[in-house]
Structure 1
């Protein structure tokens, strides 16, 4: 059986036709062109195989895709998510939805609270998250947010909250007393 990479039109023609020098030349040229096309098509798998890339290729892929919020110091799984979403974020840049998606990707969880929901000045917002941030990661996150947010909006604060699972017991009672007066 002939592999498709090695196939050429002359291999399926009868001997009388395939032995002709013109047909053999055309067949050979076709085989070389197909080989070049097959070799090139293998490279397109790169875009579909982001989950299996090493970190160096991810960095190059981020440059090629112009991934807006990409920083080489991020964890590898975050880099993969950023590259996968870069085209969508280019289309939706400046919207609250894009900022929320970025928060979910980089921090894992959180949300944007706009000015009208907390009584702030028009055009301001804050971010609520339960992710743990230190000073350097907070500055890095603020730089990333400045690239995706609407240019007329201002980030006021990034507020952290923590969830505590405890059992809390509350009790209440009503005591009614009656006075009877005897004469």
Structure 2
């Protein structure tokens, strides 16, 4: 890089020139662009200000998409197309229904947003409302916002009903006894034997 500082210029100018020379030599020229989809993220607020567009509350990806459509949105601002395209920066499936599409009052319109990825918190709802109001015309009136959340859960619910009877078995009780034994006769005899023992002394008989 050639210098524009002459010998008679003050030392401060030479120091600034040397610093700028070093910064520009390290700069990658091919990365310099004002295209919103490819520029350095630090350029986004500058581009938004140049196009008189607000990106407050937008994430980087959302801001890039919105700024990339800035010229067309400015040209067709106030139309249904502009509202739809602005919303697509954040809500890709956004649909705008005008009053004659659903039999409503003249100049009224509805917005329907379907999503399975974006969670609708306070920030998202405020952003949705702001984009609509920013790109609609003064005459049109927002009647309602329909939010449709799709679930891709693979889980399923099932229910089972089991019924039955409880039986209680009481202790067994005999109600009737029937005997088929043939009659028999038994005889019992008693034999009595008496034994007596006597001691006889024959001494002196002879």
TM range (shorter): 0.5 to 0.7
Q: Where in structure 2 are the equivalents of 1:113-132 lying within 5 Å?
A: 113-131=97-115, 132=119
Distance 2:120 2:46 in 1: 27
Q: Is residue 2:39 matched to residue 1:52?
A: yes
What TM-score results when the alignment is normalised by the length of structure 2? Answer: 0.53
Change (3 A) 1:76 1:49: closer
**Correspondence 1:138 to 2:125:** yes
- 2:60 corresponds to which residue? 76
**SS at the partner of 1:145?**
helix
Give the drift of 1:119: 1.9
| CA distance 1:71–1:52, shift in 2 (3 Å) | closer
Pair 160,49 (structure 1): closer, same or farther in 2 beyond 3 Å: closer
Mark the runs of 5 or more structure 2 residues left unpaired by the alignment: 3-28, 155-206
How far, CA to CA, are the matches of 1:164 and 1:75 in structure 2?
A: 24
What is the total number of aligned residue pairs between the two structures?
Answer: 124
Larger gyration radius, structure 1 or structure 2: 2
Structure 1 segments, 4+ long, off by >6 Å, are: none
Structure 1 gap segments, 5+ residues each: 7-41, 167-183
Asked if the contact 1:50–1:58 (Cα under 8 Å) also holds between the matched residues in 2, the reply is no
Deviations 1:52-94 (A, max 9, x none): 312x321122111212xx3232111111111111111110101
Q: How does 1:1-183 map to 2 (within 5 A)?
A: 45-48=32-35, 50-54=37-41, 56-67=42-53, 70-131=54-115, 132-163=119-150
Superposition RMSD on alpha carbons, in Å?
2.6
Calculate the TM-score normalised by the size of structure 1.
0.59
Greater helix fraction, Structure 1 or Structure 2 = 1
